[in-house]
C-alpha cells in the first residue's frame, strides 16, 4: 500500500499535463500512487498521460464523462489506496520535495489529521508572482481563532498544497459539492476541519500554482453562479463555526458583494433582480452592513440603500451604474 495518493483532475490539459506529471515523477519521496481523472477531455490529454505513465504501475488513469472538477475529485477519492491523500491541478506542478515535506510533518506529529503547506503563484515561464508561506504551527481543529484569524485558512482554502487522512475522507461520500463552481475547495476544507483533531502548518513552499491569464475571472457571472456558493459557505459557517470569527465574516461579506454585483452584470429583468435581492436573509444584510467596506462613494450609497431595505432604489442606482460603465 502506498503512503500517499495524489488526485489529479484533468480536463483539456494537453498544454500542461506533461509538466505536471514530470514534477510528480521527480519527487524525492517515491512511495505514492497517482490517480488521474480524465474528465471527458476532448484534446490529447489522455494520450499524453498514457505515453508518460504506461510503464509505471503507480499511475492510474480513470476516464469519465465531463462533470466538472468537483465530480472528478470525488471520483478520484473512490480509487485511492494510501493512508494519506493530496491533490494537484493539472496545470500546476510540484517542487521535488513536495511529498517529502508533507510526509515529514506527519512523521514528526503522528496524531495530526491535516497538513497545510505554502505555495507560490507563477506564470507559465516559471516566474514567481506571489509566495504564501505559513508559520510552522500545530493547531487543534476546534481552535477557530488560530485557524482563521491567525493563519487565515479561509483565504487559502484550496485542497491542493495540503495532506488529508483517508480514514476521515472515507466517512463521507461526495466531499466536493458539484452544484457550485466557486469556493467548493473552501467548503471542502471547512467540512474536513469539523472532522479533524489537529492541523499542522508547515513553512515549506513546494507547490506551483499557474496564474493562467486566460482563466482569471473577467467574464460575467450569473447571479446564481455567485449566490449559491455564498449561500453554502455562509450557512455552513454559521452552523459550525458561529458568527464570531471576524475574518471569516469579512470574507463572506466580500462573497456576498460579488453575488450582488453579479445580479447586475447580466441581462435580467427588474422583477428577477429584485427577487434575487430578497433571497438574502436579515442575517446576511447584518453581515454585509458590518463587514463589507465599499471601495467608492457609489458603492457606499448602494450598501446604505440595501441594508435599509430600499431595494427598488438600489436596483435603479446599480443598473444605471453598469449602463454607464458598459
Q: How far apart are CA 117 and CA 205, in angstroms?
A: 6
pLDDT at 94: 98
Q: Is 61 part of a structural domain of the chain?
A: yes
Contact status, residue 299 vs residue 260, Cβ threshold 8 Å? no
Residues 235, 205 share a domain: no
Residues 239, 188 share a domain: no
Residues 192, 50 share a domain: yes
Q: What is the pLDDT along the chain (326 residues), one digit of tens a residue?
A: 999 999 999 999 999 999 999 999 999 999 999 999 999 999 999 999 999 999 999 999 999 999 999 999 999 999 999 999 999 999 999 999 999 999 999 999 999 999 999 999 999 888 999 999 999 999 999 999 999 999 999 999 999 999 999 999 999 999 999 999 999 999 999 999 999 999 999 999 999 999 975 554 446 789 999 999 999 999 999 999 999 999 999 999 999 999 999 998 876 789 999 999 999 999 999 999 999 999 888 899 999 999 999 999 999 998 888 777 76
CB neighbours (10 Å) of residue 177? 19
pLDDT at 125: 86
Q: How far apart are CA 176 and CA 33, in angstroms?
A: 21
Domain boundary pick from 176, 210, 244: 210
Residues 120, 13 share a domain: yes
Q: Is 236 helix (H, G, I), strand (E, B) or coil?
A: helix
Residues 31, 94 share a domain: yes
Residues 130, 108 share a domain: yes
What's the CATH code of the domain at 28?
Answer: 3.90.550.10
Region of residue 152 (phi > 0: left; psi between -120 and 50: alpha; otherwise: beta): left
pLDDT at 267: 65
| CA 28 to each of CA 81, 107, 148: distance values in angstroms, whole numbers, following the listed order | 20, 16, 32
Range of the domain at 264: 223-325
Domain boundary pick from 183, 210, 237: 210
Residues 268, 200 share a domain: no
Number of domains observed in the structure of the chain: 2
pLDDT at 153: 95
Domain boundary pick from 210, 237, 271: 210
Cell reading at 168: 476521515
pTM above 0.85, yes or no: yes
Helix pair angle (297-307, 282-291), 10° resolution: 150
Residues 192, 151 share a domain: yes
Which of 216, 212, 237 is CA-nearest to residue 291?
Answer: 237
**CA 315 distance to own-chain centroid:** 31
Residues 21, 124 share a domain: yes
Amino acid at each position: 500500500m502506498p503512503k500517499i495518493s495524489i488526485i489529479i483532475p484533468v480536463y483539456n490539459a494537453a498544454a500542461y499535463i506533461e509538466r505536471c506529471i514530470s514534477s510528480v515523477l521527480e519527487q524525492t519521496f517515491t512511495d505514492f500512487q497517482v490517480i488521474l481523472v480524465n474528465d471527458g477531455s476532448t484534446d490529447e490529454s489522455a494520450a499524453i498521460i498514457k505515453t508518460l505513465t504506461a510503464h509505471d504501475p503507480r499511475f492510474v488513469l480513470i476516464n469519465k464523462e465531463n462533470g466538472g472538477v468537483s465530480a472528478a475529485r470525488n471520483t478520484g477519492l473512490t480509487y485511492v489506496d494510501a493512508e494519506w491523500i493530496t491533490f494537484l491541478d493539472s496545470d500546476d506542478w510540484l517542487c521535488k520535495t513536495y511529498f517529502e515535506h508533507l510526509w515529514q510533518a506527519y512523521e514528526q506529529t503522528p496524531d495530526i489529521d491535516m497538513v497545510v503547506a505554502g505555495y507560490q503563484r507563477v506564470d507559465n515561464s516559471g516566474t514567481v508572482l506571489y509566495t504564501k508561506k505559513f508559520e510552522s504551527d500545530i493547531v487543534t481543529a476546534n481552535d477557530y481563532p488560530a485557524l482563521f484569524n491567525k493563519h487565515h485558512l479561509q483565504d487559502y482554502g484550496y485542497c491542493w498544497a495540503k495532506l488529508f487522512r483517508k480514514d476521515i475522507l472515507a466517512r463521507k461520500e461526495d466531499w466536493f459539492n458539484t452544484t457550485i463552481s466557486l469556493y467548493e475547495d473552501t467548503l471542502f476544507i471547512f467540512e474536513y476541519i469539523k472532522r479533524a483533531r489537529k492541523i499542522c502548518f508547515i513553512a515549506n513552499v513546494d507547490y506551483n500554482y499557474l496564474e493562467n491569464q486566460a482563466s482569471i475571472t473577467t467574464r460575467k457571472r450569473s447571479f446564481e453562479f455567485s449566490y449559491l456558493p455564498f449561500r453554502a459557505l455562509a450557512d455552513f459557517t454559521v452552523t459550525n463555526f458561529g458568527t464570531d470569527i471576524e475574518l471569516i465574516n469579512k470574507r463572506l461579506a466580500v462573497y456576498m458583494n460579488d453575488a450582488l454585483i453579479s445580479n447586475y452584470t447580466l441581462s435580467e429583468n427588474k422583477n428577477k433582480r429584485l427577487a434575487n435581492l430578497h433571497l438574502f436573509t436579515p442575517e446576511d444584510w447584518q453581515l454585509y452592513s458590518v463587514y463589507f467596506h465599499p471601495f467608492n462613494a457609489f458603492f457606499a450609497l448602494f450598501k446604505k440603500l440595501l441594508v435599509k431595505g430600499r431595494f427598488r432604489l438600489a436596483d435603479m442606482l446599480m443598473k444605471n451604474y453598469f449602463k454607464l460603465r458598459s
